[in-house]
Amino acid sequence: KRVKALNERREQLKAGIMVGARKRASLIRKNETTDAMRQFLSKLQVLQESQLAEAQQKLAQAGIRKKEWAVAVIFGRLVAPIVIGILAALYIYVFNMFPEWGTTKKFLAFALAVGAGYKGPDIFVQNMIAKRTDAVRKGLPDALDLLVICAEAGLTVDASFGRVARELGRAYPELGDEFTLTSIELSFLTERKQAFENLAYRVDLDAVQGVVTTMIQTERYGTPLASALRVLSAEFRNDRMMRAEEKAARLPAIMTVPLILFILPVLFVVILGPAACSIADAFAGDGPGS
User: What pLDDT is attached to residue 132?
Assistant: 92
pLDDT at 214 over 90: no
Cβ neighbours of 165 (radius 10 Å): 23
Does some domain include residue 195? Answer: yes
Does some domain include residue 101? Answer: no
- Tally of domains in the chain: 2
**41 and 140 belong to one structural domain:** no
Identify the band that residue 78 occupies on the pLDDT scale cut at 50, 70 and 90.
confident
pLDDT one-digit tens code per residue, 154-189? 888 888 899 999 988 888 999 999 999 898 888 888
Domain range for 36: 1-45
Mean pLDDT of the chain: 81
Does some domain include residue 213? Answer: yes
Does some domain include residue 191? Answer: yes
Q: Which amino acid is at 172?
A: Y
Does some domain include residue 175? Answer: yes
Identify the band that residue 271 occupies on the pLDDT scale cut at 50, 70 and 90.
confident
| pLDDT: which is higher, 215 or 17 | 215
Tell me how far apart the alpha carbons of residues 201 and 258 are, in angstroms, rounded to a whole number.
41
Last residue of a domain, one of 241, 264, 284: 241
pLDDT one-digit tens code per residue, 90-137? 888 888 888 888 888 888 988 998 888 888 888 888 999 999 999 998
Does some domain include residue 216? Answer: yes
pLDDT one-digit tens code per residue, 12-22? 655 554 445 45
pLDDT one-digit tens code per residue, 23-62? 554 544 556 677 777 777 777 777 777 888 888 889 888 8
User: What pLDDT is attached to residue 19?
Assistant: 45
Does some domain include residue 256? Answer: no
pLDDT at 190 over 70: yes
Does some domain include residue 118? Answer: no
Identify the band that residue 197 occupies on the pLDDT scale cut at 50, 70 and 90.
very high
List own/partner pairs for 84-89 with CB under 8 A and 24 or more apart: 84/113, 84/114, 84/116, 84/117, 85/110, 85/113, 85/114, 85/117, 87/113, 88/113, 88/114
Residue 205 — φ and ψ, nearest 5°?
Answer: -135, 135
What does the DSSP assignment read for 40-81? HHHHHT---HHHHHHHHHHHHHTT---THHHHHHHHHHHHHH
User: What pLDDT is attached to residue 104?
Assistant: 87
